[in-house]
Amino acid sequence: MFDTALSAHDLLFLAKGAGVTLLVTAISVAFGTILGILCGVFRFQVGPYWASPVTFILDIFRSIPLLIQLVLANAFLGMVLKLRMSGFTIACGVLTLYTAAYCAEIVRGSIGSVPGTTRRAGRSLGMTWFQDMRYIVLPLATRVALPSWIGLALGVMKDSALVYVVQVTELLKSTQILITRLQEPLFLLMICGAFYFLISFPIARFGGYLEKRWSND
C-alpha cells in the first residue's frame, strides 16, 4: 500500500513545516497568554463598565474568523501603513491577539471562581492586594483555568494552519505542496496528522499531569 515516492528529503520538508507550526504556536501562546492575563486581571479588577473598551476590542478578535483577520492585517500593515513586515511576524502578531482575546476570558472567569470570602480572609491577615493575587488567587485560579487553557493552546496550534494566507509555510501548507507534487493525498495527510499529534500529545499529557498533581487538595 505504502509504495510511495516520498523521499527522506520530503519528510524533512514536512518536519520543517511542523517546526514552523510549533514556533508560531509557541510564540503566540506565550505572548497571548501574558497579554490575556493582563487584560483578564484588568477586566476583573475594574468591573464591566470601565473594562468595556478593552472587552469590545477583545470581542472583535474573538468573533471575526482568523482567516479574515490575517488577510486584513496583512493588507492593512502592508498597503495602508506601508510597513515591511514578514508574514511570520504578522502571523505571530494576529495569533497573539487572537489567543489573548480568549485567554482574557478564561482568566477573568477563573479569578471570579475564587470565593470572595477566601480572598477576604487573606486580606484580613494583612496581605496586600498583590500578595492575595500572588499566593491565593493565582494558584487557585490556575487550577480552574488549566483545562480551558490547554484547550486554547491546542486550538491555536491547529488554527495556525491558516497562516499560509500570509505566506508562511507551516505544516499543512508543506503537506499541500507535497500533495500537489506527489499526488498521494491520503498518505501525506496521514503523515501530516501524525505530526500534529506529535506536537499536541505532550501538551495534553502535561496538562493531565498537572491536574493530577494538584488534585490532592
Partner 1 sequence: MIKIENVRKSFGQLEVLKGIDLTVEKGEVLTIIGGSGSGKSTLLTCINGLEPIDAGRITVDGTVVHDKSTDLNKLRRKLGIVFQQFNAFPHLTVLENVMLAPRKVLKQSRAEAEAMAIKQLGHVGLGDKVDVYPSRLSGGQQQRMAIARALAMSPGYMLFDEVTSALDPQLVGEVLDTLRLLASEGMTMICVTHEMKFAREVSDRVAFFHKGVMAEIAPPEKLFGAPEDPELQKFLAATH
In the complex with partner 1, which residue's Cβ is closer, 197 or 209? 209
CB of 195 to partner 1, least distance (A): 37
In the complex with partner 1, which residue's Cβ is closer, 29 or 141? 141
In the complex with partner 1, which residue's Cβ is closer, 117 or 183? 117
In the complex with partner 1, which residue's Cβ is closer, 112 or 139? 139
Nearest-angstrom CA–CA distance, 26 and 186: 28
Per the CB < 8 A criterion, the answer to whether 70 and 165 are in contact is: yes
Cell numbers standing for residue 105: 476570558
Residue 82 — left, alpha, or beta (φ > 0 → left; ψ -120 to 50 → alpha)?
left
Nearest-angstrom CA–CA distance, 43 and 26: 25
Q: Grid coordinates 513586515 are at which residue?
A: 85
CB of 120 to partner 1, least distance (A): 6
CB of 173 to partner 1, least distance (A): 43
Q: Point out which residues bind partner 1 (CB under 8 A).
A: 115, 117-118, 120-128, 131, 135-136, 139-140, 143, 214, 216-217
Closest CA to 61 of 95, 38, 110: 95
First to last CA, the chain: 52
CB of 152 to partner 1, least distance (A): 22
Nearest-angstrom CA–CA distance, 113 and 145: 10
In the complex with partner 1, which residue's Cβ is closer, 209 or 214? 214
